Amino acid sequence: MAPSSQHCREKGETTMEIVVCVKQVPDTETRIKIDPAGKGIVREGIEYVVNPYDEFAIEEALVLKEKHGGKVTVITAGPDRAVDALRTALAMGADEAIHIQASQEDAVDSIGAAEVMARALKEIPFDIILCGKQAVDDDNAAFAPALAEFLGLPHVTVVTGLEVDPEAGEAQVVREIEGAQEHITTSLPAVIAAQKGLNEPRYPALRGIMQAKRKKIPVSTLADLGLEGETLPARTEVLSMMPPPPREGGEKYEGEPEETVARLIKALQAEKLV
């Protein structure tokens, strides 16, 4: 069982140890190009950002801290550049950051990433772990459940509502599924994966940005965590990458609505779609 700050807390005190796992990903504006070897993407010229779903996790952590008191620690596993994602989180208001140095493949193995993170989190106290519901590069949506399993914790993914009761060591969670919501009660600590709609992430204030720049961020290596190599562990292998099948524009109707609609209907009838 992972350490929980619940155990070392004075009676009546309700401060929370909040951990947010983040990932740095290419901006969603990026036009993805495949490298000549056909095994990865062209990295040159890509702008990296905090994974958009992780921003909801950071915001929720800050909200929990403001409500219950405590400390927000952000953690990432990635190459040197990934430290920028941590600085963004610090600028938003996170207190501490941890960088696990590791190179990574283009289609990251989320189970491997969760394994690394689980090892790192066994070293620090937490009452709740937040992350995004999926990273918009590998799109696996697999990190949170795997992390929870490795840490022996419950998990809830695709979360659009969260109410934490630190005294009771419990949280009320709303999870989005197809055409419905699941209302879930979970014990804490737990791993919570944020979905869009949970909150509106704040923009870093100038003061926060300046402070984040000066903040010392401890770095650990995979060797420090008892793992071999310099790349995140993977049980899967990318054989090749390719662009999506090309799609071209077809017919474009211009003119009076009566005429354009009639032509569209005819086309859809020919395709047996209406």
Partner 1 sequence: MSDKILVIAEQRDGQLKKPALEALAAAKVLGGTVVALVMGQGIGDLAETLVAHGADEVRVADSADLALYSGEGYATVAASVVKEVGPKVVLASATAMGKDLMPRLAAKLGAGLISDCTSLEVEDGRLVATRPVFAGKAFAKVTTSSEPAVVTVRPKAYTPLEPAEGRDGEVSDVDVGDLVIRAMVREVVKTAGERPDVAEADIVVSGGRGMKGPENFKLLEELADALGGAAVGASRAAVDAGWMPHSAQVGQTGKVVTPALYVACGISGAIQHLAGMSRAKCIVAINKDPDAPIFEVADYGIVGDLFKVVPLLTEEIKKLKG
- Identify residues 73-102 at the interface with partner 1 (CB under 8 A): none
What's the min distance (Å) between Cβ of 73 and partner 1? 22
97 vs 116 by CB, closer to partner 1: 116
Binding span for partner 1 by CB under 8 A among 75-83, 87-95, 103-111, 120-128: 103-111
Residues between 184 and 203 with contacts to partner 1, criterion CB under 8 A: 184-187, 190, 195-197
| DSSP-assigned states of every residue in 5-23 | GGGGPPTT---EEEEEE--
Q: Which residue has the tokens 């944020």?
A: 194
Q: Residue 112, Cβ neighbours under 10 Å: how many?
A: 21
Binding span for partner 1 by CB under 8 A among 6-14, 71-79, 170-178, 206-214: 170-178
Question: Residue 132 pairs with which residues in a beta bridge?
Answer: 194
Q: Which residue has the tokens 């354009």?
A: 260
What's the min distance (Å) between Cβ of 148 and partner 1? 7
Rounded Cα gap, residues 31 and 232, in angstroms: 25
> Does residue number 37 form part of the binding site for partner 1 (CB under 8 A)?
no
Site string for partner 1, 131-160 (x = CB under 8 A): -----xxxxxxxxxxxxxxx--xxxxxx-x
Question: Residue 48 pairs with which residues in a beta bridge?
Answer: 26
Contact in structure between 99 and 23 (CB atoms under 8 Å): no
Please identify which residue in 12, 36, 45, 179 interacts with partner 1, judged by CB under 8 A. 179
Question: Residue 159 pairs with which residues in a beta bridge?
Answer: 175, 194
